[in-house]
Amino acid sequence: MTKIIIGNTQNADSRTANEKLSKETLEKATNIHREEVFKLMNWLSDKILARGVRHDYTKSMYFDEFADEVLKPHTDDEFKNAQWYQKHIFEERHHLNANCPIDVNLIDVLEMICDCVSAGKGRSGK
């Protein structure tokens, strides 16, 4: 787990200031706050990009099993009970309706949203 150190910005707000504020003090603390938000947003975007690169990796890793399941006739229940599909939903974290990890996080939710939008729009042709 990455630990991100957040700088002291008590003086970026009159409700938390630990001294009488001046424009200079306020400006300095505000700039620190902006840098801290940037750091966190950058960390978050790195996590999102990394997840995007790995999305549906089980379709590639187990391609023959995946292809066998997709290409054969089956009911929805048969597909969902297939060994490949079970690997897919348990090894990957974004199929929250089928298998929601106990430690589900924002990245999991964002990946699920992107997956649903992409699959829905792409497969419907709209």
Q: Are the C-beta atoms of 40 and 4 separated by less than 8 Å? A: yes
Query: Domain boundaries in the chain?
Result: 10-50, 55-124
Whole-number average pLDDT of the chain: 92
pLDDT value, residue 1: 65
Q: Mean pLDDT throughout 34-56? A: 95
CA atoms within 13 A on the CB side of 8: 6
pTM value is 0.82
Q: Two tokens at 81?
A: 């009970």
